[in-house]
Amino acid sequence: MTNSTAHHPAFTFIRSEFIDALNVTVQEFEHTVTGAKHFHIASENDENVFLVGLKTVPTDSCGVAHILEHTVLCGSERFPVRDPFFMMIRRSLNTFMNAFTSSDWTAYPFASKNKKDFHNLLDVYLDAVFFSRLDELDFSQEGHRLEFAEPTNPDSELTYKGVVFNEMKGAMSSTTSVLWQTLTKYLFPDNTYHFNSGGEPTDIPDLSYDDLLAFYRTHYHPSNAVFMTFGDIPAETLQTEFEEKVLSRFERLATQVSVPNAKRYFSPVRVEEGYAADEVKEDGSHVVVGWLLGESIDLGQQFEAELLSSVLLDNSASPLRRVLESSDLGRAPSPLCGLEDSNKEMSFMCGLEGVKRENTAQVEALIVSTLEEIAKNGIPQEMVDAMLHQLELSQREVGGGSYPYGLQLILAGLSTAVHSGDVIAQLDLDPVIESMREKVQDKDYIPNLIQTLLLSNAHRVTLTLSPDDALEMRRNQAEKDRLGKIKAALSDEEKANIIARSEALKARQSQVDDMSILPKVGLEDVPARLPEYDKHQQASELPVTFYPQGTNGLVYQQLVITLPELDEEEKSHLPLFSSLITELGVGEQDYLAIQERQVQVCGGLGASNSIRASIQDRQTVSAYFVLSSKALVPNVSAMSELLKDTMLNVRFDEISRVKELVAQRRSRREQSITGQGHSLAMTAAASGISGLSAQQEEWGGMTGIRKAIALDDAMKAGDEAVENLFAVFSRLHKKLLRAPKQMLLVAEPQHEASILASVEPVFADLPKGESSTVFALPNVDRKVNTAWLTATQVSFCSKAFKTVSGEHPDVAALTVLGGFLRNGFLHRVIREQGGAYGGGASFDGTNGAFRFYSYRDPRLTETLADFDASIAWLLNEEHGDDALEEAILGVIGSMDKPGSPAGEAQSDFYVQLHGRSLAYREAFRKRILAVTVEQLKTVAKTYLTKENENVAVVTSTAKRAELEALGFDIQTL
């Protein structure tokens, strides 16, 4: 790993440090003239990441920082096109592109494995952030505007439109979001965190265009910026571009943007507010107690708070979580339980949901008395050591998933960088872990932390958030009244101006920009081959597949069991079995002892099901049950013992434990609706297309949420429902023990021999696979026309068309078609003109479903019509090769998106396990690259027809009459 300090002369080198646990070198520089910081994380990783972060400090809830984040990406000095951000998404091989608004910073990150593409994106991002056009029409589109319901008729109803306006209506339909925003409003009485940086829908219309410009001038300046990069491009090369394209044009700002610390309370505060609900349930309240702590940029304070939070709440054996989970005062621990350390000042929260409103004082007293008891009696040393072990695991793990690994590291240091803290110390946790190991030897250390940070801390807020079934109606009426007053006061000239602006915006949205001014990659830049992963297979009674990968001292282990034939009850409860098996007792040990054992030896246990349709027939599936864990190399034997014990000896007798877990699962599922409404709508729309798609709706869709609610209600009525469930679990467990098994291991190559030597003896006595019958699902082929009603201010719409799947030659064209329709039509009409936060189309090749969707959408009927209009646009218009190339690049980019080293190995194992060989995937890739516009039209004509159409929406109860008139089958939770 290079430790070079080479840099551009416009920058001053500050320091450099190699971090062994991460295998990276972190370099810190400062731009001499403007004071802009640059942190470069030098790595041999070829996925390069860029982020520019700005401290953004709103002083109200009008959403200025959030609306600015959107508007900044609508054209700039060198790239004066209407939508360079979304245009670059489809002209790029990026592995990540986005923008974020946090409570006190705004960030613009991207990542790419292709060097040409990286520099293209860097060019556009730098110009967008520092030289944005900020056109007033873009502010109207992205932020808010007044518009007549019939845009050219001044006698029709006046409405609010705007992407962020509707996005925040959707976001603030989430009870968890309301809970967090309300609690921080009181925890921070007088600084920026008091306000909703995303914007309150009631306040967003108060933001003026001039306010937006003023905020941009003071906040979007290099003196208020931090540049953060990761990868194998040298810091000097990057700084040359920063200097030439941006920094040379600026001087240092005289005044600095800052966040003052919050004014402290001298005694605890108790408050109550409401959240919108369809019905008022007696036990529908949330009670959360929150404390304001010290500064997050003080690493010592931050780590102490992190350790304390982990010790108290990490798992079911943690003393505070144990009390919350088993309390009769509420249904489950609050989703806010834990430490929030992304703000300048940290906060610690805990509480319960599903509480009777009159029991607030009892919940508060329970939390305080539990903390007093823990402070008095102390914490077992092995539990504290286990939490330090977990912190080391998380420090060493090379991440993957939704964010590139380099971006995860950057985001870990971003808040510290924005508030001028020590970024290197924030990333290099080994020294602070070692320091903590010494401190925790003092048995009074944790009790003293509880006393000083919590019990003696008067800055405490107890919030009760209770359901209000009239709140949404009052809110809608207030908006209607406000618009009515505005309309009544409008002169004829002002009405004409609203109409003229609507027409001007529509014309702007419909204009065809000269995209040639934007840089691009082409199909010639696409890698010719898919990566082939090295693996070693041991043919024994328990077959083992070992992937040698750079896992930074960790071992990933999975026991993979072929799913046997299941009866209807077993099938229905399979996901619940998977979520509970690692949360119960094992053998002689109860669940608390097992939770302690898990955190001592590994990164926890997880169970899941891997089920995919065959490439020959969508009604046939291959299915596996997977028990997985990860650990540091020295702990691999102990992890294997735990894995085997759990699989062999899991207990089905802990009735109260299962009741708690089912209640928690219900809460999580209910709270997920407004965040993933589009996925739920698509799952519902596609549920009639195959046996697997129907099962996915029953397990993970709105039907699955309704079943989770019904099961929880049944368990509250008595123990019989739990005992019946245990009987099903026991049958399912016995079948799994008799089924064929294999092992997947991923670790660094030098550890292969020692790991195999440790693992194989542990599993030698595992029952051998005997089962010959395998998991199957009934054939399903039926029409869907369903509307699910819930508490939301926006809609999520979907249409799913039955098509073909697997090896069929039309699958490649259908895969490209989704991006083609989104890029050319759906993005403009659903997001820009319709005001939804998002919309598009995608193809599910496993189930053979082509799916349209919208996300946080103010419209419903019109959006469903727009899905059809996109098909007509495809068939009736002429389309150029550039649009086709962009859609193909999008597909290839998603196919080539890298994961973590362990994640890529696991993905390779499972695609092959499900019959998708490397040769099959490369042949499919070639077909993608060869798709033509004519093929897109052919598959649209063939499959996107009324007889193949299915429709589902997730929307507000206020839409019932409209949906009934449209003939929907109305469903409620």
Which residues does residue 741 pair with via DSSP β-bridges, in sequence order? 561
Identity at 901, one-letter amino acid code = P
Smallest Cα–Cα separation from 820: which of 928, 898, 678, 925?
928
Which residues does residue 783 pair with via DSSP β-bridges, in sequence order? none
Q: Alpha-carbon distance 442 to 727, whole Å?
A: 47
The string over 595-633, giving b where at least 16 C-beta atoms fall within 10 Å of a residue's C-beta and e elsewhere, is bbbbbbbbbbbebebbbbbbbeebbbbbbbbbbbbbbbb
Q: Alpha-carbon distance 325 to 628, whole Å?
A: 25
Smallest Cα–Cα separation from 734: which of 611, 577, 540, 593?
577
Are 268 and 460 in contact by the 8 Å Cβ rule? The answer is yes
Identity at 207, one-letter amino acid code = L
Q: Alpha-carbon distance 212 to 143, whole Å?
A: 10
CA neighbours closer than 13 Å in the CB half-sphere of residue 202: 11
Are 596 and 662 in contact by the 8 Å Cβ rule? The answer is no
- 69 catalytic per annotation: yes
Q: Alpha-carbon distance 169 to 564, whole Å?
A: 45
The CB density around residue 328, as the number of other CB atoms within 10 Å, is 7
The CB density around residue 172, as the number of other CB atoms within 10 Å, is 22
Kind and range of the H or E run holding 146: strand 145-148
What's the sign of the alpha-carbon dihedral 375, 377, 381, 382? negative
What single-letter DSSP state applies at residue 264? P
Q: Alpha-carbon distance 608 to 17, whole Å?
A: 40
Cα distances (Å, whole numbers) of residue 874 to 50, 289, 674, 705, 935: 36, 55, 31, 36, 11
Smallest Cα–Cα separation from 198: which of 75, 56, 82, 336?
56
Residue from 28, 69, 345, 697 carrying the catalytic annotation: 69
Per-residue tokens: 359: 């029991």
Q: Alpha-carbon distance 111 to 121, whole Å?
A: 9
Smallest Cα–Cα separation from 110: which of 89, 135, 90?
89
Helix, strand, coil percentages, rounded to 5, for the chain = 50, 20, 30
Q: Give me the phi and psi of 160, to 5 degrees please.
A: -95, 135
The whole-angstrom distance between residue 302's C-alpha and the CA centroid of its chain comes to: 24
Residues carrying an active site annotation: 69
